[in-house]
Amino acid sequence: MNVLVTASARFVMTEDGKAWTSNASLGYSVWAEYLSAYDQVHLLARAQHRASPPVNSIQVSGPGVKLVPLPYFVGPEAFLRQYWAVKRTIRAALKEVEAVQLRIPCTIGTEVYHQLEAGRPYGVEVVADPYDSFAPGAVRHPLRPFFRWWFAEQLRKQCANACAARYVTQKALQQRYPCLHYSMGVANVNLEREMIVTQPRNYSDSKAPVNILIVGTMDQLYKAPDVLIQAVAHCVKAGLDLTLTLVGDGQYRADLERQARRLGIGDRTYFCGQLANRTAVQRYLDQADLFILPSRQEGLPKAMMEAMARALPCIGSIVGGIPELLPAEDLVPPGDVTALTAKIQEVVQHPDRMSQMSARNLATASQFDQKTLQAQRAVFYHYVHEQTEKWLNQSRAILCVE
């Protein structure tokens, strides 16, 4: 049995038919997991065609996994221009598979959902919350309020009608977007044993400057780097010796660089761009003293979990699955610069507290064992496979009767 898996990511496809990505968390091994239940994985996603792969990219396709390329649109206006081509590609792709897995929220997943015939089972993997994604400040678009309502409503329907749902959180996403049938909460992250350090950090000695790190896309302001830059600027103005490192790239990077200069911390702020592999990310994690993710929306943040695996103290916002990772004393309301400023001051001026945060975070990260999570996700894939098999058998029986 073959499965169609949707993805919101954008990939590169070379002339030899191979697919590539610069995102270390979207490589072949992620999609190969589905092969525990299926013969072939057809990955439906946008693709830009190039003669050669980008520098420092990793392969997405491989044995049992192929990319089904959609037109390379970016944004709602471009999607509308490519709508009929997208629809034709989806229609053809559905004919080549038996099972369907929608990684949502995602425009592509929504289009596949609307093209499924009545009664055809499908699984959903809920990785984020569009109601938070389109909150004020997260996206700059005149139709943001409409998008917030529309995508949240679509996600509710998709989850309610799915034969099975896997959420990356244990409670947060389930409460807002319940599935009426089978559901489970299993994180997307894969923390290999070598990614998890063996000892917590010791912050008994004061260190200056304190290096703060954030990892996340700058295509939108979901991760709230703008809020973090403001908070760090306030802390520096109050006399704290801090530096800020931002790992990630996107359309808002230039705006964020200008913001840092305007607030007087341009010489303390370092933009590292997109890093292609986890080894490079780990180097920055190991050099940092404090990880902060003041997101406006989240599922269960991989970047924070990887930071916790390196025994980094973390501060996060009260959205999505972050409260499932951090205690209340390490959380702040999303978009609240004043609260984040106070929390940074509170943490960095107490080395003993940072040591306690380090030990607690390492213990939490150690619970997310790769093999255990993969086995749990495999249970979900097999369940969708079984429901699809039942539907196929029923369809064949009806045809025989007719």
3-state SS, one letter per residue, for the chain: CEEEEEEEEEEEEECCCCEEECCHHHCHHHHHHHHHCCCEEEEEEEEEEECCCCCCCEECCECCEEEEEECCCCCHHHHHHCHHHHHHHHHHHHHCCCEEEEEECCHHHHHHHHHCCCCCCCEEEECCCHHHHCCCCCCCCCCHHHHHHHHHHHHHHHHHHCCEEEECCCCHHHHHCCCCCEEEECCCCCECHHHCCCCCCCCCCCCCCEEEEEECCCCCCCCCHHHHHHHHHHHHHCCCCEEEEEEECCCCHHHHHHHHHHCCCHHHEEEEECCCCHHHHHHHHHHCCEEEECCCCCCCCHHHHHHHHCCCCEEEECCCCHHHCCCHHHEECCCCHHHHHHHHHHHHCCHHHHHHHHHHHHHHHCCCEHHHHHHHHHHHHHHHHHHHHHHHHHHHHHHHHC
Q: Quick one: 397 and 292 in the same domain?
A: no
Query: Position of tokens 């230039």?
Result: 254
210 and 108 share a domain? Answer: no
Structure token digits, residue 44:
């439906």
Q: Are residues 308 and 168 in the same domain?
A: no
The alpha carbon torsion through 87, 91, 96, 100 (nearest 10 deg) reads: 80
CATH number of the domain at 169, please. Answer: 3.40.50.2000
Cβ-contact 300, 320 below 8 angstroms: yes
Count the domains in the chain. Answer: 2
**Same-domain status, 303 and 392:** no
**Do 73 and 133 reside in the same domain of the chain?**
yes
pLDDT at 116 (0 to 100): 96
Write the burial class of residue 165 (CB in 10 Å: 0-12 exposed, 13-18 middle, 19+ buried): buried
**pLDDT for res 318:** 96
Question: What's the confidence (pLDDT) of residue 402?
Answer: 54
> What is the pLDDT, as a whole number, of residue 399?
57
- Considering the domain architecture, whether residues 37 and 117 belong to the same structural domain is answered as yes
Amino acid at 24: A
Which ranges of the chain have pLDDT less than 70? 206, 276, 396-402
Both structure tokens of 57: 């990219």
One domain for residues 174 and 269: no
147 and 20 share a domain?
yes
**pLDDT number for residue 68:** 98
pLDDT confidence of residue 140: 78
Q: Are residues 22 and 125 in the same domain?
A: yes
**Could you tell me the sign of the dihedral formed by the alpha carbons of 231, 237, 242, 247, in that order?**
positive
Question: Can you give the pLDDT at residue 190?
Answer: 78
The first and second tokens of residue 244, run together, are: 């800020």
Q: Which domain holds residue 63?
A: 2-191+370-401
- Do 291 and 389 lie in one domain? The reply is no
Question: Do 231 and 86 share a domain, yes or no?
Answer: no
Q: Are residues 300 and 374 part of one domain?
A: no
Residue 285 identity (one-letter amino acid): L
